[in-house]
Amino acid sequence: MKPLAKAVAACFALFILLFSLAAGSNPDFTLFKNYLSDLGARDAPSAVFFNSALVFGGIGLIVLGVVFFGKRVVPGVLCAISGIALFLVALFPEGDSLHKAVSILFFTIAGLSVLAFTVQEAKERGARKAVVGAGILQVALSLLLASTFAFEKSLAPLFETLAVASLCAWGVVAAAIPDLRTHQEGP
């Protein structure tokens, strides 16, 4: 694995570790029943872990965007913007008046980035099954998340958690594709 791919994988691993610490440190949090952002609310005992997880996740997405940018400009730019949006979710945690807007921005831009990359990957290389499959799953979960906000809010925490998990998995798989990386060390 090349250095940028290692950096992305490390950021997503830190995201998962810090998220796990956040979930474990908050006795009021129930996975799939609470919004993930409840872990980052200013008064939550888990806030420092969760908001740090978002910062590392944002860094991972920005680095992944740079990795993409060399070969796939639109997905790369969207991915980097989604990383910035994830920073904003940490900066404006649950309870802040801007939180909902930056959360929706993150999920929208991240979903568009995955969609743009998945379409381009499928067109250029006949679709690598792991990336396209993970991309389709992530986009589908993001759409389900959006629809639950509109129609059945009680399911939104479930789809939010699944969308974030699939985005992490997709990011690690996508970053590992050898010819995506712009800084290769030989053939």
Residue 3's CB is within 10 A of a number of other CB atoms, namely 11
pLDDT band at 185 (very low <50, low <70, confident <90, very high): very low
**In the block, which residue shows the tokens 């690690």?**
172
Name every residue whose Cβ is closer than 8 Å to that of residue 62 and which is 6 or more positions away in sequence: 79, 80, 83, 84
CB 50, CB 95: distance < 8 Å: no
Write the pLDDT tens digit of every residue in 20-44. Answer: 999 999 999 998 889 999 999 999 9
Distance (Å) of CA 129 to CA 78, 132, 140: 22, 5, 16
Query: Does pLDDT of 130 surpass 70?
Result: no
Look up residue 100 and give its two tokens.
């909902």
Query: Does pLDDT of 181 surpass 70?
Result: no
CB 145, CB 111: distance < 8 Å: no
What does the domain layout of the chain look like in residue ranges? 3-180
Cα dihedral 35, 54, 91, 104 sign = negative
pLDDT for res 121: 72
Distance between CA 140 and CA 126 in Å, rounded? 20
Write the pLDDT tens digit of every residue in 54-86. Answer: 999 999 889 888 877 667 788 889 989 999 999
Give 70 or 184, the one with higher predicted confidence: 70
pLDDT band at 176 (very low <50, low <70, confident <90, very high): low
